Amino acid sequence: MFKVWIDAGHGGKDPGAVGNGVQEKDIALKVSLGIKDRLEAEYENVQVLLSRSTDVFLELKERTSKANTAGADILVSIHCNAGGGKGGFESFRYTSASQNSIKLQNALHKAITGEVGGIDRGIKAQNLHMVRESKMPAVLTENLFVDVAADADRLKQASVINAIIDGHVQGIASYLGLKRKAGEDKPVTQERDINVPSKWAEVVWADLTDKGYFDGSRPGAPITREEMAVVVSRLLNNIKK
């Protein structure tokens, strides 16, 4: 069972970047919960652990030590950007990252930019706590700018949040080589149309409709006792003749 650690940046008293009616901590939490839901629902053999699943404050140190103690296989820290950009997406690994961190970053970056579109600010390395102190391959994603109006507008759209979630899910699944769960193989049962006679009954239905026993409507519907009485009465009348 693979253990994926998803770290929603900021939280509680620390809103992260704020702008245009968007708080970074809220986006980070939404995306994190979405990644857990989708990854566990759609892929086999994977468990997603979260730094936080509610709006609470955590020190950076708590986040990495929890992930290290849990023995997570990878860590992805979710953030939004602000402060002097034109908008877009960028990802970070540690400045002297492992080969696996670079592989994870490449997989995530490709999948997220593919899903989200917009400006690609590049695959970057920086001395950040979350990617430095994590013992496992670790990447931090900066998902659009809350202080760029066009990006903030996008972050308010459910379809864009979904695209960010999808990109992360695809990148993680691709890096870990996760297998998709088989679709539930429900047999496809064809609902019958009660207004069309079954093939085997076509001739008889047409004949008895012609003879006036039935009015020709709803051949596939169940019959009531009173409808049956009408049919029997018509039959008896015909026999008497």
**Shortest reach from residue 51's CB to Zn ion, in Å:** 13
Other beta carbons within 10 Å of 193 = 9
Scan residues 16-45 and list those touching Zn ion (CB under 5 A): 16
Q: What Å distances lie between residue 191 and 88, 196, 220, CA to CA? A: 48, 12, 11
Q: Binders of Zn ion among 100-119, rule CB under 5 A? A: none
| Cα–Cα dist 27/139, whole Å | 17
- Per CB under 5 A, contacts with Zn ion among 164-223 are none
Q: Total residues at the site for Zn ion (CB under 5 A)?
A: 3
Q: Candidates 2-10, 30-38, 43-51, 65-73 — which segment interacts with Zn ion by CB under 5 A?
A: 2-10
Q: Which is closer to Zn ion, CB of 27 or CB of 136?
A: 27
Based on CB atoms, which residue is closest to Zn ion, 46 or 165? Answer: 165
- Indicate whether 9 belongs to the interface with Zn ion (CB under 5 A): yes
The structure tokens 């003879």 sit at: 211
Distance separating alpha carbons of residues 131 and 216, to the nearest angstrom:
74
**Min. distance of Cβ 148 from Zn ion in angstroms?**
15
Q: Which is catalytic among the residues 40, 142, 202, 227?
A: 142
Task: Select from 79, 109, 154, 168 the one that contacts Zn ion (CB under 5 A).
Answer: 79
Closest C-alpha among 204, 229, 230 to residue 219: 204
State phi, psi for 72 to the nearest 5 degrees.
-65, 150
Q: Is residue 44 annotated as part of the catalytic site, yes or no?
A: no
CB of 9 or CB of 219, closer to Zn ion: 9
- State the maximum Cα–Cα separation within the chain, in Å, rounded to a whole number: 102
Which residue's Cβ has the minimum distance to Zn ion?
79
Torsion, CA 214, CA 220, CA 224, CA 228, rounded to 10: 30
Task: Determine the interface stretch with Zn ion among 8-16, 65-73, 111-119, 176-184 (rule: CB under 5 A).
Answer: 8-16
- Smallest separation, CB 11 to Zn ion (Å): 10
- Residue 88 sits in the site that holds Zn ion (CB under 5 A): no
Segment interacting with Zn ion (CB under 5 A) among 9-17, 145-153, 161-169, 233-241: 9-17
CA distance 45 to 155: 31
Cα separation of 221 and 179, whole Å? 45
Q: Contact region for Zn ion (CB under 5 A) — 77-85, 86-94, 107-115, 147-155?
A: 77-85
Region of 193 (left: φ > 0; alpha: ψ -120 to 50; beta: rest) is: beta
Contact letters (x/-) for Zn ion, 131-170, by CB under 5 A?
----------------------------------------
Residue 5 and residue 48: Cα distance in Å, rounded?
6
Residue 58 contacts residue 7 (beta carbons within 8 Å): no
Active site amino acids: 142
**Residues near Zn ion (CB under 5 A):** 9, 16, 79
